[in-house]
Structure 1
């Protein structure tokens, strides 16, 4: 018996009862002949009247037509179905294409796209393997998949092949199919793709590796850094020669957007070795260093350098205490002019950032009003947790400014651990897990706030959000050192770094490292902004740096470079990975079912039968002359 998805609809079968009653009360008219012995037969007819009334409509075909119409409609409303076990389709293919920088060597990426086109099936999912896997299309038709293949381009990053395979696994686990990975297998981030392949295959899923590319020669920048010197900034670039012969390189240096080199020099790099190139006294702006020699991979032939202007920032620290670790840390930041005050002055328009570090005295309503106007007009404010902004002291007006909702103060004598929730230039190189928190304010994030660090119980300890044209940050680490400190953050070597990053970011500037990043970095902004990238203009509050070049955000110019020795090694052709495929095996784990259960619904067939019966009913009525 088939199950029903809506069994209560079977109550509609009760409609058969009124149909039977209707036929009992409405006898069918008949033409009869009256014999002369009618009165003698009357008694005998009376006995049969009941039986004839009951059997009359049983022999009526119209009754049966209408009866089955009611039955079939009731069953269709109950939605009956039966189940079958169907094989998982092999017509679905997940195509994973390596889009790392090394795939730009010679024609590797074009070959990968061509091979992907040869493996297109009825439905297709295309994933670009980059530092973060990117699903280009999911369960697309063959025509749509070919259109997507014609639009994709390689990135200037290192690919995480294992993450891409795991991303494809989620799709195949639901719909069935196979996974095909096309790569040069020269380098990767994350887990070993061979181990991931064997693990996925232990679930009964087919994974195929296709290797592209051949060994090739290359020379390029594999590292670079900027040091502060007495005469300004000095750039040091490391160039490696991957060739089996000595290379004499022509190096051109360009300043700004000009195509005319301001300086040209030559450098000789022995086979399979490195040489350093130093450029001193760099002026503010963008400098481009190019290796003029042509080779198989050009993305590492250019080093981009960005030197920010030395704009000085004015910071006001408002506190009812003189000795504060935050005050010391901020005063050590270069190009920062720090002022201190016991209250918020009536005019703070000349300051870029105001740090609120009161420990006991709550801010007055007039001070809050001044801060509110300051932030909404483009200023930045930083609130440090203390009793002065605790649940018993905080006002409603102040709550509107903070990125968190203030609750009670919590004592934790045994200490509470803190973890960062977002990896960005504000949190990188800060070991939040080494901070011991013994007292803190229980908070919850407001809508639109970005939480950068929180306790294991998900209590925000470091957060920010935009307010008007400005920005407000909350630092949950009270820096009071008198009596019982709330935490040990001020004793850690990362504490000055923490304040340098925060002050630079809140003021719209940053350290020299914030202006020079590696591809694959995520840039977090205070609010949604227009960003000019090497591949076009976008508008967002976060950007994934996927291409080498210059990223313009407002008046800031950020240089991005590949700087990856394994990715620049074009002499690696992935043959070692392909050789390991037959050698490495993982122990079989869970065996994935090769079938899945499908519900086959019968309601459409029942409705079709009803339509046929209605046609038959009309025909019977018309044949009787009743229509």
Structure 2
């Protein structure tokens, strides 16, 4: 035990491996017992010389070993191997740990209370190490910086701000675990721990196991100083919209404030209305109404100074009077459900024809092709190809005319999925939504397909596949093609005994076509223009978007800030509407009694730089030298 304790204090990761140095002893004994023969010149008068035999034997044994270069080489090979196996390191000290670190900062609306978010930004750099990842926990984890230096991570943290969402802290912790899965490391979660989506942070920590060092750093105390707009909706009456909004008072006493209302008309001019009076009893909710909301965007702002600013605003977007033309091409001989759904949209004018014309006007917002028995000729495909290439939008509804055997080269190029042949299933095939604005809030679990087109995804980064079968066959796909967009709708809606599926009988069917019209023509349900913070919209290509915080270019929009987002000509109003986040009197979750409250951290960390490879390389070189000596002596 004494030897082991002594070895453990040496600068080696595996000090007991130094016991391998004992192998030197048998090497020395071997050389002493079996010395290498050597030549001796024998004088003829040897019997006249006096030889001191005892001194000569000892001297000759030692000098033979020391002077033998092979022995020296083998001795150092054993030493180098033993030292390399022990894992030597150089110990130094640094203000940063050498562990990988992930910093998770809660970006939810409740972090706006007091200085919670600012304090988290101030404290976060204290937990940084030499390699860092920064995650902002929103409704989905947002990786701000990955595997960067402490300086870069600190700059990234300084540029963060809290959002108008509820944070999914559990998903952010799972993302951190994935990042640290290879080398391990430390995770620091900086949050008020009052509200969250998804898994409870404490349960998420337990699920991660002991492989990661997870530290919770809580902030803030409850306060009752908050008045919030927690919900709102539009109701159309006699051709005009009325906006109803609910205001909650989290204090115990009555609160009366004014609400300023301003509308920005489609032409850019502003209308300023007389302030509304908003009075709410203590710990209660009241509903108010703003009537005759004009087209454009309207801002309602509670004039109050309280805990959370984001929930003092409500934004309304009502598109101006628009009209769009749609060309519907089908040989069905009657009106199909998809055509009916489109014709019910007041702002949409649907023109129906049976064959593709020689040319297509670019005045059509989009063209729908929904053939039954008719197979598109090469001339018809070329017409459609020219229309899309010039910036048109084309929707193909599934049918046998899209089978691989019926495709021309241009048709194959345009389709966002690689379509093969028709497949039939007696029991029916179920579909599921992968995630898209087209499928959000739509129940597709009861939709079954008896017949569908077997297809494969294309290796195109800008192509989206929002609906697929359980086997991975794309049922809905869309993406850019040349200057236009091509949409593949794999749910054929021809009726009769041979109907391919039952989707047309569901309430979600017309909603889906309304969303297609809105996507291509900016015309659709008013709810498409008014969304809750935390909603995600997927676009077909990178698009320049004007957000409340400035311009950005992306193909995936996370609406996380209250205000108006402009995407092309479409203006989308984003509201917080979150009683859970606005509830400022909520206590933090239990189990944080021993959490780090921003306490003292080590001022210096021990940094162990491994140098075992130096000794391993030296051992290898010495082995090569040993082989050279053996060969030179004729032993091998």
Cα gap change, 1:119/1:313 in structure 2, threshold over 3 Å: closer, same or farther?
same
Q: Does 1:191 align with 2:205?
A: no
- Whether the 8 Å CA contact 1:101–1:299 is kept in 2: the answer is yes
In 2, Cα distance between the equivalents of 1:460 and 1:313?
29
Q: Does 1:387 align with 2:395?
A: no
1:517 paired residue number: 531
In 2, Cα distance between the equivalents of 1:361 and 1:108?
65
Cα gap change, 1:611/1:472 in structure 2, threshold over 3 Å: closer, same or farther?
closer
CA positional deviation for 1:451:
0.7
Counterpart mapping for 1:133-532 below 5 A: 133-138=141-146, 140-200=148-208, 205-256=213-264, 261-323=272-334, 324-349=336-361, 350-422=363-435, 424-448=436-460, 449-532=463-546
2:18 paired residue number: none
Q: Name the stretch that deviates more: 257-266 or 273-282.
A: 257-266
- Whether the 8 Å CA contact 2:216–2:592 is kept in 1: the answer is no
CA positional deviation for 1:173:
4.8
In 2, Cα distance between the equivalents of 1:434 and 1:130?
32
CA positional deviation for 1:245:
0.8
Cα gap change, 1:139/1:555 in structure 2, threshold over 3 Å: closer, same or farther?
closer
1:47 paired residue number: none
| SS of residue paired to 2:441 | coil
Q: Does 1:553 align with 2:576?
A: no
Alignment length, in residue pairs? Answer: 543
Counterpart mapping for 1:23-172 below 5 A: 64=70, 93-120=101-128, 124-138=132-146, 140-172=148-180
CA positional deviation for 1:148:
3.5
- Whether the 8 Å CA contact 1:318–1:343 is kept in 2: the answer is yes
CA positional deviation for 1:81:
6.3
- Whether the 8 Å CA contact 1:226–1:236 is kept in 2: the answer is yes
In 2, Cα distance between the equivalents of 1:279 and 1:253?
9
2:91 paired residue number: none
User: Gapped runs of 5+ residues in structure 2?
Assistant: 1-38, 46-63, 89-96, 595-607, 626-636
In 2, Cα distance between the equivalents of 1:382 and 1:97?
43
Cα gap change, 1:123/1:247 in structure 2, threshold over 3 Å: closer, same or farther?
same
- Whether the 8 Å CA contact 1:113–1:149 is kept in 2: the answer is yes
Cα gap change, 1:541/1:476 in structure 2, threshold over 3 Å: closer, same or farther?
same
Counterpart mapping for 1:593-604 below 5 A: 602-604=612-614
- Whether the 8 Å CA contact 1:81–1:600 is kept in 2: the answer is no
In 2, Cα distance between the equivalents of 1:106 and 1:602?
52
CA positional deviation for 1:91:
5.2
- Whether the 8 Å CA contact 2:330–2:352 is kept in 1: the answer is yes
In 2, Cα distance between the equivalents of 1:374 and 1:139?
46
In 1, Cα distance between the equivalents of 2:623 and 2:452?
76
| SS of residue paired to 2:160 | coil
| SS of residue paired to 2:364 | coil
In 2, Cα distance between the equivalents of 1:326 and 1:545?
30
CA positional deviation for 1:554:
1.7
- Whether the 8 Å CA contact 1:127–1:137 is kept in 2: the answer is yes
Q: Name the stretch that deviates more: 509-518 or 194-203.
A: 194-203
1:624 paired residue number: none
| SS of residue paired to 1:186 | coil
CA positional deviation for 1:330:
1.6
CA positional deviation for 1:509:
3.6
1:43 paired residue number: none
User: Gapped runs of 5+ residues in structure 1?
Assistant: 1-29, 38-57, 584-597, 616-627
2:17 paired residue number: none
CA deviation profile, 1:541-576 (whole Å, cap 9, x unmatched) = 2211121111111222111111101111112231xx
In 2, Cα distance between the equivalents of 1:130 and 1:219?
23
In 2, Cα distance between the equivalents of 1:172 and 1:299?
34
Runs of 4+ in structure 1 off by over 6 angstroms are: 32-37, 58-63, 65-72, 80-84, 257-260, 598-601, 609-615
In 1, Cα distance between the equivalents of 2:146 and 2:395?
44
- Picking from 534, 544, 547, the partner of 2:548 is 534
In 1, Cα distance between the equivalents of 2:186 and 2:613?
34
1:605 paired residue number: 615
| SS of residue paired to 1:434 | coil
Q: Name the stretch that deviates more: 274-283 or 528-537.
A: 274-283
Cα gap change, 1:82/1:609 in structure 2, threshold over 3 Å: closer, same or farther?
closer
| SS of residue paired to 1:111 | helix
TM-score under structure 2 normalisation? 0.77
- Whether the 8 Å CA contact 1:101–1:155 is kept in 2: the answer is yes
Cα gap change, 1:313/1:206 in structure 2, threshold over 3 Å: closer, same or farther?
closer
CA deviation profile, 1:181-215 (whole Å, cap 9, x unmatched) = 22222211112223223434566745435242332
CA positional deviation for 1:581:
5.1
In 1, Cα distance between the equivalents of 2:552 and 2:517?
26
In 1, Cα distance between the equivalents of 2:275 and 2:269?
14
